[in-house]
Amino acid sequence: MFIDNAAALERIELAEHDTPFCWCAAPTVPVDSGRAIWLRCTSLTRPRSVVHKLLTLDFAASHTNQRILELAEFQQRAA
């Protein structure tokens, strides 16, 4: 199934609207990973030491990181 630009944009905006913040209170943003668009917690981009992560129980698996759109199903329509 292929989707067009409008449907892809709608899916991304809906994901942002449904989950604007991670449980850690950091905002979420759409990120292109090459094969998919993901909604990710912005705190995942901040460098933290292993000791800090262990002391605060701050593991990447517990932060928002959900696939919004597979780029294989996205097709730009020629105008």
Residues 6+ apart with CB under 8 A from 70: 35, 36
Calpha distance 46→64 (Å, rounded): 14
Say if residues 66 and 11 touch (Cβ distance below 8 Å): no
Tokens of 43: 């705190």
Residue 76 vs residue 10, higher pLDDT: 10
Structure tokens at 49: 């030491």
Summarised one tens digit per residue, pLDDT across range 11-60 is 999 999 999 999 888 899 999 988 899 999 888 776 666 665 555 555 55
Look up residue 42 and give its amino acid: T
User: Residue 77 has what pLDDT?
Assistant: 46
Residue 75, pLDDT score = 52
Q: Residue 26 CA to chain centroid, in angstroms?
A: 12
Q: What is the pTM of this model?
A: 0.69
Domain residue ranges in the chain: 5-73
Place of tokens 């094969």: 35
